[in-house]
Amino acid sequence: MSQNILSIDQGTTSTRVMIFNSEGKILSKVSKNLRQIYPRSGWVEQDPNELINSVISLSKEALRISKLGIEEITSIGIANQRETTIIWDKNSGKPVYNAIVWQDNRTSDLCIDMFQRGLSDDIKKITGLVIDPYFSSTKIRWILDNIPDGQKRAENGELLFGTVDSWIIWNISSEKNHYIDSTNASRTMLMNIHDLEWDDYLLKTFNIPLNILPKIKPSIGEFGVTAKNIFTKEIPITGVAGDQSASLYGQACFEKSQIKCTYGTGAFIMVNSGSRIITNNPGGLLRTLAYNYFSSKNYALEGSILSSGSTMSWLRDNLGIISNLDISSDISKSLDSLEGLYFVPSFAGLGAPHWNTNAKAMISGISFSTHSDHIIRAALESTAYQVKDIVESLDISIKSSITSIRVDGGQTSNDFLMQFQADILGLPIEVSKNIESTALGAAFMSGIGSKIWKTENQLKSIYEHSQIYEPKMNKSEVENLYSGWLNAINKLNY
């Protein structure tokens, strides 16, 4: 009987479900776009019920399209948007508030207060993170403060918290397992990154009761089995990770100093830093858990870009200057230059390495000759510049070891962006043949957990690239362009 893995990729703008065989090939693939809810400026929410309904319905649809029997699904892997925060009633299973999405910055004032209280160094030392609304802890605090009797209900054990992986596992597992994988837990700003346990000091700091938190589990291992009323069979869930960790794993970045970038709603650079946490100053980058299983831990340095694909969507949906994002590459190639035009897309603040919550989006260098095509190209270039900001922040010992960058995500099909990225970095850009690296990574983890594959060396042989973009731009031109970008960043009102 064939061995296959059902892989769930629950993202910010869509849910995708795929079935992979033991050779890493996609047998079926389905997706559904999800609503974003914007109650106020800077607030971003989603309906938790819409999320879980999409996961269940798409999983059944992927199975139907694959024409496989349910007995041919060996295990399930889950990858998910990280930091997004859900709290639900333990007894009814109903969410007490919408999911607060990772991009949401409503807790900016709370973060400023934490800075002023001198908590920054402690939090960085314990969690590897910086104080920012991006992470889950302040979102939890906001929900408990803004629903009726929130704190009291939490202390009485009536509420449960989870990131999206926890919400999925709780809803599809036969025993209603309240689990979180360690990579997702590392993004809550509540987990000690050294021992991978909830930290008592941080729980007291945020006044969050331990009893609402899920049990932390390794990325690869046993998360329970699915309820029979979902698939008619109990299928083991054996691999779970945050989307960026899953992408790193899916691109077979198993060695120290291997680096990947995923271009999606945001863009996320992750560098495998091996079994030890980087203790010296990571230059505004986050120290996070890449993945773990059994007794092994793999850490990473990460740079998070908060607006990438969402910038292009804004041009289409809000400004109406482009109807089809697929033509943005040809539009950009048709221009000789931007004549000093820069687009700084800090719609949700600036992420790594700047970490400024209050920064607003800005277009710098507009003149009478500027037209919509210039703005489209400047928006594309902004992602490449932000990636360079992060790579430039890496310690020289890591940066000098990087020979290429593996990339995945929807925007890797944009020929202009990929070539400009190679040019501005001065590094080859290796585009994954399977741009669904996040789903593939979840499948890889699940397959290791269910023993379809026994070693990571087997996974290395599955990974393939489709194209390599070599840098072509001369060094002086790169320096001039990047200098202009840094000047634009400095013009932001900090």
pLDDT of residue 281: 58
Q: What share of the chain is helix, strand, coil (3-state, %, to 5)?
A: 40, 25, 40
pLDDT of residue 464: 84
pLDDT of residue 436: 86
pLDDT of residue 493: 58
pLDDT of residue 325: 85
Q: Which residues of the chain have pLDDT under 50?
A: 494
What is the rounded CA–CA span in Å between residue 34 and residue 46?
A: 8
Cα dist from 486 to 30, 44, 275, 439, 479, whole Å: 41, 28, 34, 35, 10
Helix (H, G, I), strand (E, B) or coil at 247: helix
Helix (H, G, I), strand (E, B) or coil at 286: strand
What is the rounded CA–CA span in Å between residue 384 and residue 421?
A: 5
Determine the angle formed by the axes of helices 372-393 and 475-490, rounding to 10 degrees. Answer: 100
Domain spans in the chain, listed from the N-terminal domain onward: 4-242
Find, among 257, 270, 254, 340, the residue nearest to 305 by Cα.
Answer: 270
Strands 159-162 and 86-89: antiparallel
4-242 under CATH 3.40.1710.10, yes or no: no
The identity of residue 122, as a single letter, is D
- Return all residues near 216 (Cβ < 8 A) that are at least 6 apart: 179, 180, 181, 182, 185, 191, 196, 197, 198
Q: pTM for this structure?
A: 0.87
pLDDT of residue 74: 96
